Each structure stands twice: as C-alpha cells, then as structure tokens.
A and B are shown apart, each in its own frame.
Chain A
Amino acid sequence: MQINFTNKTVLITGATRGIGKAVADCFFESGATLILTGTQKEEIELLNKRNKSNGVNNIEYVQADFSNQESVDSFLNQLKLYEQIEICVNNAGVNRVNNFTDTSTDDFDWIHNINLKVPYQILSVVGPKMLQQGYGRIVNVASIWSWITRPGRSMYTSSKNALVGLTKTLAVEWASRNVLVNAVSPGFTLTELTKTTNTKEQLIELQNKIPVGRLAEPIEIAKLVAFLCSDLNTYITGQNIIIDGGFTNV
C-alpha cells in the first residue's frame, strides 16, 4: 500500500520549519511538486538557491509574510497563476499566550488574520481550481486547542475553532465534487520552536502530562497529513483528527 504524490502539485504554508517542514519532506519523498511558503526572505532565497544547485526542480519556495496584507495579496496573485493545485495544507500559524483581560484588538487581529483569514483567502483561490479539476485534498492544521483549552489561549483557541468550522463547512459543500477537507489537530510537538522556548525541565514536565510519555515528532504528524491528502483517502471528510499521544483523553 503506497502513498504516492507523483504529478500532484501541493501547497504547504509555513513549510520552512516544524510540522510544515516535516509535511513538506514527507510529500517530497513521495514525489510531489511543492509550493512552500516561509516568512524570511533571505532564508527563502537561500533554500531556492540550494535546491537549484542540487538540481532539485520540483520545489518552489515562496516568501510571504502572512501578518502583512500586501504580502498576502501578492502571494495570492502568484497563486492564481498556477494551473493546477491538487493538495493544500494550511499549516502556517501563530500563537501569543495572554489572559483574556490582557488581550488587545491587535492580538485578536494578528492571530485571526494569520490562523484563519489567510487560510480562507488561500482556499478562495485554491478551492475553485480543485472544484474545476474535480479533485482536491485540503488539510488545515488546527491544534488540540481547537478541542480543549487553557487559560491564556482565548485568541488562539478561537482562531483554531473557527478554522475547524471552516473545514467542516467546506467539506460538506465540496464533498460531491471530490474535494475532501479535513483538519489535523496535533498535540505537543517537538519542533525547533518547542525546543528553544522551553527549558529541559519544562520539556520533562510537559512529557509527564502526556499519556504516551513523550512529545510528538513532527514527522509523526506529517504522516497523518500525508495519508489524508493521498489517494488512499477517498471518504474521510469534514473531520478534525486529533493526534496527541492521548493528551486530550485525560
């Protein structure tokens, strides 16, 4: 049973690190043609240059700053030019932990723009292409905070719940056109970000709260995303699938 993305063009946002990068690696290994976004201009240039010198011609990194509407608009215009996009993984996201009484409208806008509005805008461009092709697979990367919550996470939880709501509605609207839309909600994942923003002691404390006793590796999340986007999935749609080592069960 093979997962193969040959002849599939795949858009993955926030793909230079963390879960997004693991998803990109996973698709690349399975033969996909990739459009990958990242925020840092120098990094994107470097990645494109490196791929060119290595003879890798099926990956295109595109710089886009999703906190900047002009940058988003320019990215969307670029996206319109692609003839076909079969798979879209909305992975880019931000978080700022703040108690509700300390949040500002700016916090609300920043988080909801990046976590919700940009996926909406991307799907506004990519969705019609998929409907026209009669084929599409969309995975929106939400979070366990779309399912449960903690103090300080009102903005993030709101944005991720909304993303799941968007997921379900698009799934129902597009099911008969063979465009499947799902959300994947990872638990705590051992990304570069997690490693740098937590002390060793904090990481151990976190591990102890997870039933399987460890954080997820980004590749473990990526494999589920890959399955849902593959031709092995032809009937799962409108789901928010939690992959968290049992965390939300406790």
Chain B
Amino acid sequence: MNISFINKVAIVTGGESGIGKGIAEKLLSLGCLVYTTGVNDKPEWCGQYDKCIYTKVDFLNQDSLDSFINEISQLSKIDILINNAGIQIMHAIDNIETSDWDKVMDVNLKGPMKIMRAVVPVMKSHKEGRILNISSVAGLISKPGQSSYSTTKSGLIGLTRSSALDLATFNILVNALCPGTTQTEMVEKVLNVDQKNAILQNVPMGRFAKVDEIANFAVFLCSEYNSYMTGQTIVVDGGFTAR
C-alpha cells in the first residue's frame, strides 16, 4: 500500500509549527501542493518546498481571514482541507472575559466553519474531497480552566458529524481527529516538568505523541485509502481516554 498525493491540492491552517506543520510537511513530501497559514511571516521550513504556498492569516481579524477565504475560494481544485489552527486561553468559568471567549470561538470554531463553507463548493464541483478537523481529547474530556477550549473542540466534533451528512453523497468525507498531548514547541513552552509528568502518569503509552504520529493518521484519513469513513471522531492518544 503506497500512499501518495501527487496532483492533489491541500489547505492546512495553522501550519507554522506543531501538528499543522507536521501534516503540511508530510503532504508535501508525498507530492501534494499545500496552501498553509500562520500568524507570522513565512516560516523557513515552508521555503524548502516548491509546492508550499504560505499566507499570513490572523484568524482573530475577520478581514484577514476573509481575504484568505476569498483567495482559496478562487482555486479551481481543492482536494483536502485540514482545519488545524487553534488557540487556547485558560480561565475558570466564573472568570471568563467575554472577549477571550469570543477569541477562542472565532479561531477554533467559526474559522473552520467559514473555511469549510468556502472550500466545499470547489470540492463539490469535483465530486471529491477530504476534510479533517483537528479537535482534541479536550473535545471529549476536560480539565479545570478549559471551558472555552473544550467547548470549541466539542463544537468541531458536532460540525464534523453534521457536515459529513451534508456532504456524504458528494464523496466528500469529513472527520475529526483528537490528538492527545503532543510533543510540540507550544507544549514545551506552556508546560513545566511537573505538569508534564502529571499528564504522563495518565498516558498508558508513557510518553506524549510525536507530531509525526498524528500526521501519519491525518494523512491516511485524507488519502484515497480512506473512502468510507465519514462523520467520525478518532482519538490518537496512546490510550489516555481509554482509561
């Protein structure tokens, strides 16, 4: 079984670093043309691929997002959409600033919806498409301080389920992927050693996911090897939520 993306076009949001970068690079290495986004200037890794097209997009700024959406809706072909961009703001429920809540909603849930809305007509015209929404184990379980983040990640699962039904007869498959804690630059930055060890105690595999391990399955789901799974939420977490 050989998975290839030659002649395929993908959009991967939030490709600057972490899981998004891992997925984008994997697709690129398999021959895909990849449009990716980030909040900063074009990252160095993207410049190493001829087929990597980077757009600076701030999902918190509707004009910036709309201009990107306008750009991609002009494309004649989009085979794959991976909604990966996301933010997290920690706050207890009795301490949420409405503006923070709105930010998390805008980036994690409204952004993916708007992009899907723009991409679907292009996919429909080819009667083929694969959409993958990167949710999180926080969409299924939670921890203190995560109410806005968990809400959006659960919301993405609902968006996935329902849009899968809207699109099933067009050969557009929509799934969600819930990674467990993944070894990314952000996790390195945000969690101290004690916090990491506390999480690891509850991960049966005894280690965090590597970006590549999430990317492998994301890419499989978006390949021609997945032709029947749709509306599903698949957890890649080393057994974390099974316990």
Contacts and interface: CB of A to CB of B under 8 A. Distances in A.
A81 interface: no
A122 B242 CA distance: 22
A245 B230 contact: yes
Nearest to A243: B229
A18 to B, nearest CB: 15
A245 B174 CA distance: 10
Contacts of A26: 1
Among B219, B232, B235, B239, which residue has the most Cβ atoms of chain A within 10 A? B239
A245 to B, nearest CB: 5
Given A168-B242, A235-B236, A176 B229 contact: no
A128 interface: no
B45 interface: no
B234 A171 contact: no
A242 B242 contact: no
Interface string A216-241: 11001101101100001111111101
A223 B1 contact: yes
Contacts of B239: 171-172, 175, 237-238
B216 A1 contact: yes
B96 interface: no
B243 A220 contact: no
B93 to A, nearest CB: 30
A244 B231 CA distance: 9
A233 B1 contact: no
Nearest to A184: B229
B226 A224 contact: yes
Contacts of A239: 234-235, 242
Interface stretch (B13-21, B123-131, B141-149, B201-209): B201-209
A235 B168 contact: no
A206 interface: no
Interface string A172-195: 110110000000000100000000
B1 A213 contact: no
A234 B205 CA distance: 10
Given A223-B226, A236-B217, A30 B1 contact: yes
A176 B1 contact: no
A211 interface: yes
B228 A176 contact: no
Among A26, A173, A239, which residue has the most Cβ atoms of chain B within 10 A? A239
Contact of B205 (A30, A187, A235): A235
B187 interface: no
Contact of A246 (B30, B165, B220, B236): B165
A242 B230 CA distance: 9
A243 B164 CA distance: 13
A250 interface: yes
B79 interface: no
B238 interface: yes
A221 to B, nearest CB: 7
Given A29-B1, A176-B206, A233 B229 contact: no
9 contacts: A2-B3, A176-B206, A220-B228, A235-B213, A236-B234, A236-B235, A237-B204, A239-B242, A246-B231
Interface of B: 1-4, 26, 30, 161-162, 164-165, 168-169, 171, 180, 204-206, 209-210, 213-214, 216-217, 219-220, 225-232, 234-239, 241-243
Given A175-B206, A224-B226, 14 more contacts: A175-B204, A211-B164, A211-B168, A223-B226, A224-B229, A227-B225, A236-B236, A238-B204, A239-B234, A242-B232, A245-B168, A246-B164, A246-B168, A246-B231
